[in-house]
Amino acid sequence: MTRLRPLSLRRFGLGLLLASLLSLLADPAAASNAAVGLAGASEDNLAVPQWLYLATGGATVGASALLASFVTDRRFIERVHLWQTGSEAGISDSVLRALRVTGGVLGLALLALVVYLGYTGPQVPTVSFAVIVVFAGLRAGYTMFSYLVADTWRALNPWRTVVSAVPNGFVSYPERLGRWPAVAGILALVWVETATDVTTRPSVLATALVAYSVVTLAGAVAVGADTWFDKVDPVSAFLHFYGRVAPVRLDDDGLSFRLPGMRLVTDDDLTDLGDVAVAVVLVWELTFSGFVTTEQGAAAIRSLAGVGLPPLLVYGLLYLGGFAVFLGLYVLAARVTARRIDTFETPLDLAVKFAPSLLAIAAGYHLAHYVGFFVSLSPMLVGALSSPLSSPANPVVLTLPAWFGGLNVAFVLVGHLLAVWVAHSQAYRTFPSRLQAVRSQFPFVAVMILYTVLSLWLISLPTASPPFL
């Protein structure tokens, strides 16, 4: 039997990757734009067989992993994820303080306006300053800024600004809890967004923000600002983890630039399963929201509710059960890796080391789910921020061109390809043997392929309103 030489394998992998990308993007308008809460999303069906569309998406990730396995020069890998545009630019302490003060004032002003206008402004979501700023501005636009440019939430965070100005840190935080409270908080916030009227009734959104503020301020004063906003606060954890993907970083050491996602390889501040769960929940919450806003998801929920289960119980079981499955699959990949290769690394160690790759996947998911929403509502957002006290008589919503749906597919795939490279680089940092480094990636790539196929399937489905909500 003829054996393929390494060069032949590389050519085969490259050909498979190119063929997969071309088949996915040849008709970019074919897939519908099934994104989280997108009003007026396209409901076009696939112009190609769905099995081929999904198979080529999985093949793209698999082929990229095959290609990456031939990049075995450790010095080259190190140069890629440590490359930066010039040296770090130093910034004086006075400039940093001015930026923090400006950000703090801006954050407080926006929070006050959102709460005030949520109660006193029009109770129509399409002209409400509160709804537009929170969901089009923060949930969509600012989150995209956090992973595409830089994480600036520490300076803008209004609750941190308040707590930092008063004595805090009277109670010791139980370190054994890690970031699990933040995981629970993110799950709770997404549940509130999905199952309550915060997206349609500005007064309910304002009440939710007041309640969130009370809990946040009390907790941060009790355990200390740094501990609370690092370990407990769900909004801070959400934005900080997304911000790890960003190419720009501004901190006490100055301003630095890296290739997008490369800090995921060098930052070593993920330490336990709670940190892994934060990364997994960022992937899962978008998957869940995408599923319940499709016709197939709505039909499944109606079927389960039709046998007598309360609708909210159906949503809750799907939500928490799906998160448990996603987390379990990732942990299983770590266990399989630990068994397959001869290593002293424990399954938990491997799960933590490879978890940053999930953040690249989450960023691709978020961009695919929200970029259309953000672009469509950008005129309303600009109008709301430029004139917060006067609601527009005729809000403007942009209509997206048909080809825009192809970008959603591209964003999902780019996120997965970046995740493959991050996992590949992390493997070579972890294992001294090249064979160990290559074999350690296979179970994680299998999980990534599963995530890819699932996310592309959701994008391909026609959208619908979640039933019973």
Contact assessment for residue 38 and residue 463, using Cβ atoms and an 8 Å cutoff: yes
Predicted confidence at residue 106, as pLDDT, reads 96
**Domains of the chain by residue range:** 7-57, 84-407+420-441
368: how many CB neighbours lie within 10 A of its CB?
29
On the question of pLDDT at 16 being above 80, the answer is no
* Count of CB atoms situated within 10 Å of the CB of 270: 22
Burial class (CB in 10 A: 0-12, 13-18, 19+), 292: buried
Tell me the CA distances in angstroms from 368 to 123, 143, 310, 362, 406, one per residue in order.
Answer: 29, 13, 31, 10, 10
Other Cβ atoms closer than 10 A to 455: 29
The total of other beta-carbon atoms located within 10 Å of residue 188's CB is 12
Selection from 136, 25, 145 nearest residue 372 by Cα:
136
- Exposed e or buried b for every residue in 126-135, given b needs 16+ CB within 10 A? ebbbbbbbbb
Which has more pLDDT, 147 or 89?
Answer: 147
Give me the mean pLDDT over the 346-360 stretch.
93
Cut 0.95: pTM above it: no
Are the CB atoms for 352 and 275 separated by under 8 Å?
Answer: yes
Which of 92-96, 108-112, 190-194, 459-463 has the lowest average pLDDT? 92-96
Question: What is the average pLDDT across 343-350?
Answer: 90
Mean pLDDT of the chain: 82
Percent of the chain at pLDDT > 70 equals 80
Enter the tokens of residue 236.
């801070």
